[in-house]
Amino acid sequence: MKIGWVKWVKVFDADEDKAEIARLRELLNTEDEVWDAIQGALVPDTKLTTSELSLPELREVHELLKDRVKSPFLEATEVAALAEEIKLRSDPRWIEEQVRKAAERKEAQRLTEARVLREGLTALGGTGTKWSDRADEIAAWWKAVKEAEAKETWAGAFAANRISARQVNTAGRGGSFSVVNLHERKNTDKRREIVLDRTVEGVLERLKPGNFRDPITSANSKVRLGLHDLSASLLDSGEGKPTLDKQLKFYKDATLVLMPVPTERDSKIFHAICSLTEPDADALRAMRNRFTRIRLAQGSDMHTIFVDDSTGAPAQPQFRYGVTGRVHLRNGDVVGADADYLAARRTNALEHSAILGDGATQPVNEIVMVYREHASEVFPLFVKWDEDNKRFNVLKRTNLKETTGDHIDNKGAWHDAEK
């Protein structure tokens, strides 16, 4: 059931029940943080549904609330629903069923990982497990990728469901701020300072390979410049799908960055190349710095944040986005993203159609984008929503303020400027 944590806190007296309020908040908070645009700060994130509570936590929440049904902020049906859920989740048969489902999900993910790797190697061609075994095939594939990028059009990429959309507005979290350590989230001494360039200009900086490997010093300026992965959504052009504005989270006065993602075939091939042993380190790094791609994908909001994934001390920070959060299930439940759900985000990135159509559990999906060099003169596209005409006006890349006269209508059709 949905957690009404704002109402539930109000059933207690703010002066007399401070301990109960503090405990309820502790039970309903996740270990993550979420960006609050109004406060302009990171605030504790809260659980959305009771499925995110462990059975002991659920029992404690019920115990705190059960005698407060006379409060106008709590309905007796809510307390009854908590009791019913406790009964269900205490049933040995239910517990056994959940264990079985988890095991099936783990095995299905293992098979998916093996399949996508096998398909990538097959599509690459050649034989052998070493880079040198398939060097010719790698070179031929990379040449073909860049040739295809150079020919990319809006119509072709949109029809193939390969357009990523990222909204950039002034209220988002950027600049310098501290993040938790993934492995010790409550240890404030482990927080690390991150720089994040989330501006439109920052997207363009990510397209410059030299920012990830200086041609003279080989230095990687990603962390210094804040050129980390960024959140976006994948547009669905399928028949009967919502208009484009309904496939995007609402942000006021946002500039929309539209960028093609690779075909599933190319995503799998690149994944397969990265799996080869004894790689040509320079060539692989050059590819990584020049290949725009999806790193993670989910058919719903990930509810994720940047974290430091480093371990030990001292250690260089390893900033990651998309390795925390939740999954919205088809039945309406919301669950924490465990290791297998995180693994699914990685394979979904290689088979992005998995988060569209029946794979979507919310109107707006979430992907984690690696913006890098793209051979097209068209992309990335920068557009702005025109409320009066219900369309997206294309902006000039030279100043990102003036329009070119071209526009994309709300169904995804391209319209050239009127002459």
Residue 270 near residue 287 (C-beta atoms within 8 A): yes
What pLDDT shows up at residue 376? 93
How confident is the model over 83-129, as pLDDT tens digits? Answer: 999 999 999 999 999 999 999 999 999 999 999 999 999 999 999 99
- Residue 295 makes CB contacts below 8 A (sequence gap 6+) with 229, 322, 346, 349, 368, 369, 370
Token output for 302: 């990930």
pTM score of the predicted model? 0.92
Distant-in-sequence contacts of 244-251, Cβ < 8 A, 24+ apart: 244/165, 244/392, 244/408, 244/410, 244/411, 244/412, 245/385, 245/390, 245/410, 246/363, 247/165, 247/363, 247/364, 248/165, 248/167, 248/364, 249/167, 249/364, 251/167, 251/169, 251/171, 251/172
> Both tokens of residue 14?
């703010």
Cis status, amide bond into 380, omega within 30 of 0: yes
Residues in a beta bridge with 258: 165, 381
Residue 171 tokens, joined: 């209220």
Residue the block writes with tokens 């309903």 = 28
Say how far apart CA 200 and CA 291 lie, in whole Å. 19
Specify the pLDDT at position 270.
Answer: 98
d(CA 80, CA 6): 19
Distance CA 361, CA 333 (A): 10
- Asked if 365 contacts 242 with a C-beta cutoff of 8 angstroms, the reply is no
Quote the CA–CA distance of 301 and 326 in Å, as a whole number.
Answer: 8
Classify 152 as helix, strand or coil.
coil
**DSSP states along 77-135:** HHHHHHHHHHHHHH-HHHHHHHHHHHHHHHHHHHHHHHHHHHHHHHHH-S--SBGGGGH
Q: Tell me if 341 sits within 8 A of 323, measured CB to CB.
A: no
Low-confidence ranges of the chain (pLDDT < 50): none
Task: Give the pLDDT confidence of 258-292 residue by residue, as tens digits.
Answer: 999 999 999 999 999 999 999 999 999 999 999 99
DSSP type of residue 385: E
For residue 273, the Cα-to-chain-centroid distance in whole angstroms is: 24
Cβ within 8 Å of residue 285, ≥6 positions away = 213
Q: Report which of 66, 364, 354 is spatially closest to residue 244, judged by C-alpha positions.
A: 364
Task: Count CB neighbours of 111 within 10 A.
Answer: 10
Give the residue among 42, 39, 11, 37 at the shortest CA–CA distance from 25: 11
What span, in angstroms and rounded, lies between the C-alpha atoms of 357 and 372? 27
For residue 170, the model assigns a pLDDT of 65
